[in-house]
Structure 1
Amino acid sequence: MANPADRIAVSTWSLHRMLGTTYPHNLDSQAIGPVQETYGEGSESLLDIPSAIANRGINRLELVSFHLPSHDPIYLGELRDALATAEVTLQTLLIDAGDISDPATSARDTDWVWRWIETANALGAERARVIAGKQKPTRDALDLSVKALTTLSERNAGSSVRLTTENWFDLLAEPAQVHYLLDKLDGRIGLNGDFGNWGGPSKYDDLRAIFGRAETCHAKGSFTDGKLDEADYGQCLQAAEEAGYKGPYTLIFDADAPSEWDGIEIEREFILEVLSN
C-alpha cells in the first residue's frame, strides 16, 4: 500500500444512520433476525454502499455482521457482485457478537461464529474479525479463548479468509493480554487494532505496544460539537506508525455531528495529511 489513499477503508458502522436498519443476532439460532429500524428508516440499502463509497474515492469496506440481512447464497452473490462492480474490496466481515471466553457459552458461540466465517468466505472477504471474549482476563478465560480461536482456525484451514481479533472488551483490555493470546495462537489469528477501545493515561503507549502486530486498524476519531479531536487522533496515528503499522486505516465515525459523510471525510483528510508528511 505505497499510495496513502489505498490505505483508507470505511466500516458500515460509520454509515449506520444512512443504512438505518439492523438485523439482530440470536446466539441460540443461526438465523438472522427480522429487520429493525434501529437508526431510522435509512436512505441506502447495503447493496448500495459499495458504489456509494467508490464514488467518494474509497475502495475498501468493512461490513458489520448486524448490517447483513441474510445468509442466503443468492443475496450474498448480489452483494459480492455489487462489490465487484464498484471495484471495492471487502476487507473484513466484523462478527459482532458472541463470547467464546465464557465456559457457559463458548461451545455455542464458537459454532455461531463459524457460521459467520462461512459467510465471510462466501462473500470473498479478506478477513473475518472475531471477538476474543468479554470475560475478565484470567488465565482460564484467555486459554479458553485460545482454544476456541484455534478450533475456528482449524475449521477455516485452506481458506483465503484471514481470521483476526481485536483489542476489545475486558479480555483484551491491556497489551499484556493481547500479546499472551497472539503468542499462544502462533500466527493462526491476526490483530485488528482499534484506537477507540482503550483510554486512560497510558493509551498511546498501549497502542504503540500492539500495533507492530496489527494487520488492520479501526481509526476512530473523537468528535465534540462536530470538531475532530486532532490532538488525540494524531497521537493515535503516530503510535501506530511508530510501531511499524503498514496496513489500512478503517474510518470509524459515530458522533452526532457532523453528518456521517462529513465526519468520514474529516477523518480521511486528517489521516492522509499525516501519512504524507
Structure 2
Amino acid sequence: MIQTPLRVSVSTWALHELLGTVAPGRPGDPEGRLMTPRESGSLDLLHVPRELARRGITTMELCHFHIPDASDCYLEEWAAAREDAGVQLWSLLIDDGDLNHPEFGDRDRDWIIGWIERASRLGAQCVRVIGGKQPLTDESLARSIAQFRILTMEAYVRGLHVLTENWFPTLSTPAAVQALLEETGGAVGLNFDFGNWSGPEKYTNLAQIAEYAEGCHAKWDNDDDFLRCLEITRSAEFSGPYTLVHGEPGKTWESLEQQRALVAPYVA
C-alpha cells in the first residue's frame, strides 16, 4: 500500500469535454477507439498540468486514451511539462482490456503491459487496471488473480504500483474485490469509486471495501450521494487522493470547484 497525504486530485476524464481527444489503439485493433472523439477540444493535454497548478491542484490522473501520441518523445515532453508545473501524476488509468477473457485475456494483458511501460515514462506512481469484464464466477475471478500476479511484477520492476477498481462484472461485489486484493497479497491496491455501484445496497457494499482504498474516484452525482460516500471514506480512515472525475458539460472548471469545496473538509 502506498502511503500518501490526503489531497484533492483531478482526472482528465473530468476535462474530457475540453480535451476532446480519444486516441486510437485498442487491444487487437491499432486503429480502434474506445469511444467517439469530439471534433475538437479547447485544451491541449500538454497544458493540463499547468492549468491544474494555476488552480492550486497539484495531483492528477490521466486516462490513457487522452494521450494523443504514445511515442517516447511525446511522453517525455508531457512528463517534463508536468514536472515544470509541479504536478504529481498519481495514476495512469488504463481504461481498456479484458484480463480474464477466455480467448483474448493474454493478448489484453500484454497490451496493458505496454501501457505500464508508458506510465513509467510519464512518471506515474500507479496504474489502474480493470479487474475483468467477464461475468463473476470462481473461474473468471481466478483468471483475473493470475493475470494481476503477472502485472504486479511488470509494474514493480518499473517502479509502479497496480490498482484495480470496483468496476465491471468481475469485481461487481465486495466479496470479489476482497478476494482479488487478498489473493494477490497486497500487491494490488484498490481505487475506490463512488459511482460504479448502485442500487439499495450501494452504501453497505461500498463500506465493505473502503478499508482497502488507496485512491478514490470521488464521482459526483448529487450532493447527498457525494457526501454520504465521503463519510464512508472518512470512517475507513482513507488517506489517499480524492480524484474528481465529473466535469459538468459547459461549466467544467466551475463544477470542479464546487466539488472541491465539498471535499475540502475531508482533506483538511
Mark yes or no: TM-score above 0.5. yes
The equivalent of 1:63 in structure 2 is: 62
Aligned to 2:167: 168
* Contact 1:93-1:127 within 8 A present in 2 as well: yes
Q: Is the 8 A contact 1:25 1:97 kept in 2?
A: no
CA contact (8 A) 1:127 1:162 kept: yes
Does residue 197 of structure 1 match 2:233? no
Rounded to whole Å, the distance in 1 between the matches of 2:10 and 2:156 is: 28
* 1:11-50 equivalence runs, <5 A: 11-29=11-29, 31=30, 38-50=37-49
Partner-residue secondary structure (3-state), 1:15: helix
The aligned counterpart of 2:238 is: 245
Match of 1:213 in 2: 212
Partner of 1:236 in structure 2?
229
Query: Is 1:270 aligned with 2:262?
Result: yes
Deviations 1:208-265 (A, max 9, x none): 111111100000001xxxxxx2211110000111012111100011443x61111111
Q: Secondary structure at the match of 1:211?
A: helix
Task: Report the Cα distance in structure 1 between the residues aligned to 2:45 and 2:253, rounded to whole angstroms.
Answer: 16
1:238 alignment partner AA: E
AA matched with 1:218: H
State the SS of the aligned residue for 2:101. coil
Q: 1:44 to 1:32 in 2, by over 3 A?
A: farther
The 1-side partners of 2:84 and 2:191 are apart by 27
Identity %: 40
Aligned-CA RMSD value = 2.0
Matched to 1:193, the amino acid is F
User: Are the equivalent residues in 2 in contact too, given 1:14–1:251 (CA < 8 A)?
Assistant: yes
Name which structure has the greater RCO, CA cutoff 8 Å, separation 6+. 2
CA contact (8 A) 1:17 1:40 kept: no
Q: Is contact 1:79–1:123 with CA below 8 Å preserved after alignment? A: yes
Matched, 1:260 2:252: yes
User: 1:225 aligns to what?
Assistant: none
Q: 1:129-148 to 2 correspondence within 5 Å?
A: 129-148=128-147
Assess if the C-alpha contact under 8 Å between 1:9 and 1:58 holds in 2. yes
2-structure distance, mates of 1:39, 1:46: 14
Letter in 2 for 1:88: V
Deviation digits for residues 159-190 of structure 1, max 9, x if unmatched? 32111110001111111100011111111111
* Structure 2 partner of 1:96: 95
Query: Does structure 2 conserve the Cα–Cα contact (< 8 Å) formed by 1:32 and 1:70?
Result: no
Extract unaligned runs of 5+ from structure 2: none
User: Which whole-Å CA distance do the structure 1 matches of 2:111 and 2:178 have between them?
Assistant: 26
Structure 2 CA distance, aligned partners of 1:186 and 1:75?
35
Alpha carbons of 1:210 and 1:37: their partners in 2 closer, same or farther (altered >3 Å)?
closer
> What are the Cα deviations for residues 93-139 of structure 1, in whole angstroms up to 9, with x where unaligned?
00000001111111100000000000001111000111110111101
Relative to the length of structure 1, the TM-score reads 0.91
Runs of at least 5 residues in structure 1 that lack an aligned partner in the other structure: 223-228
Q: Give the superposition deviation at 1:2.
A: 9.2
